[in-house]
Amino acid sequence: MSAFVPNVDERLPEWARRSNPVVRRQLGAYWKTIPPQAEPIIRLYLLQMALVVISIPLPFLLDISIILVMVSIIVIPVLFYMYGRLLLGIIIDSSTAMATELSNNTLHLLLTTPLSRRSIYLGKVAASMWRQMDDLSIIILMLALFNTPPIVLQYLNFWPVDEYGFLPHVAVMLGTGAALIRMIIEPFMVGAFGVMLGAALGLRGVAIMATISLTVFYFLFINLIRYVAMIWPLQLVVDFVLPVALPVILTWACLRFTDHLLTRD
């Protein structure tokens, strides 16, 4: 294992590495999973965004990309299913990990180790994500390949080029980038939900159901708010800034609340 982990995990924070004792203990046999490779995803994104920029003086290129929407219509629902299953796996693992530590009276013992409390909570979330890493790699790659045409179609209809100039091109670039970033930060946020509620409730089944409910509420909110009528600058914030900023804020809040729960005595 020592020969394998540094080569793959060296770019990750220490709390997220599979060599971290908290992560290693929770992962068990899942330590050989490989994280998504950033370089191919970035290259795909930059290539597609270059085509979007070129389409400003050559608008027919966007029309060509819309033809690929039919392929995306087939692929995207499959990705939604895979993503939902991945989130459910993270919910079960993170909630179970914390509830089990409490039921076995090992969590407070773990908190007395030299590891910082923050790294312990983050390690629990990271381990839950590592168990789903193979599926996450596939989802991110498929999203990078097939998500741009539906975004092009959506924003060309929403903000016509004749009226809004290159605003829809900016929206396509922001939307494609935000979608890829969300594939990392949303699963992590859901893991933080599970860690918090597992620590708060202490019962595996109850914690899992509470985490599922909180996750469903989040996705309903983040998707339905986009349909509220608003001016285009605010629409940009709601469509591209909020889905990236809110998971980061909620993750931080969940971990802080978890620490408060476990150290208040």
Higher per-residue pLDDT: 59 or 210: 210
pLDDT digits (tens, 9 = 90+) for 112-141: 888 888 899 999 999 999 989 889 999 999
Neighbours of 242 (CB within 10 A): 17
265 has pLDDT over 60: no
Q: Residue 73: what pLDDT?
A: 81
Strands (E), 24-160: none
Task: Provide Rg for the chain, Cα atoms.
Answer: 20
- The whole-number average pLDDT for the span 50-62 is 80
Q: Residue 4: what pLDDT?
A: 42
Q: Residue 240: what pLDDT?
A: 93
| Cα(176)–Cα(68) distance, integer angstroms | 15
| Cα(159)–Cα(70) distance, integer angstroms | 21
The residue count of the chain comes to 265
Q: Residue 31: what pLDDT?
A: 62
Instruction: Place 32 in a pLDDT band, splitting at 50, 70 and 90.
Output: low
3-state secondary structure of 252: helix
Lowest mean pLDDT among 30-39, 76-85, 133-142: 30-39
Q: Is the separation of the CB atoms in 110 and 23 below 8 Å?
A: no
**The tokens of 163 are what?**
């009226």
Q: Residue 7: what pLDDT?
A: 56
**The tokens of 211 are what?**
């985490």
- Closest to 132 (Cα-Cα) out of 140, 121, 120: 140
Q: Residue 225: what pLDDT?
A: 94
Higher per-residue pLDDT: 235 or 72: 235
- The whole-number average pLDDT for the span 58-83 is 80
Q: Residue 11: what pLDDT?
A: 77
CA distances to 74, 76, 86 from 81, rounded to whole Å, are: 12, 9, 9
Q: CA geometry: angle at 73 spanning 40 and 225, to 5°?
A: 90
H or E segment to which residue 112 belongs:
none
Q: Residue 6: what pLDDT?
A: 45
pTM for this model (two decimals): 0.89
Lowest mean pLDDT among 31-35, 84-88, 203-207, 244-248: 31-35
Lowest mean pLDDT among 11-15, 61-65, 70-74, 98-102: 61-65
- The whole-number average pLDDT for the span 179-190 is 95
- The whole-number average pLDDT for the span 186-199 is 96
| Cα(32)–Cα(19) distance, integer angstroms | 11
Instruction: Place 74 in a pLDDT band, splitting at 50, 70 and 90.
Output: confident
| Cα(206)–Cα(72) distance, integer angstroms | 37
Instruction: Place 3 in a pLDDT band, splitting at 50, 70 and 90.
Output: very low
Q: Residue 116: what pLDDT?
A: 87
49 has pLDDT over 50: yes
| Cα(122)–Cα(218) distance, integer angstroms | 21
What's the mean pLDDT when you consider all of the chain?
A: 87
- The whole-number average pLDDT for the span 218-230 is 92
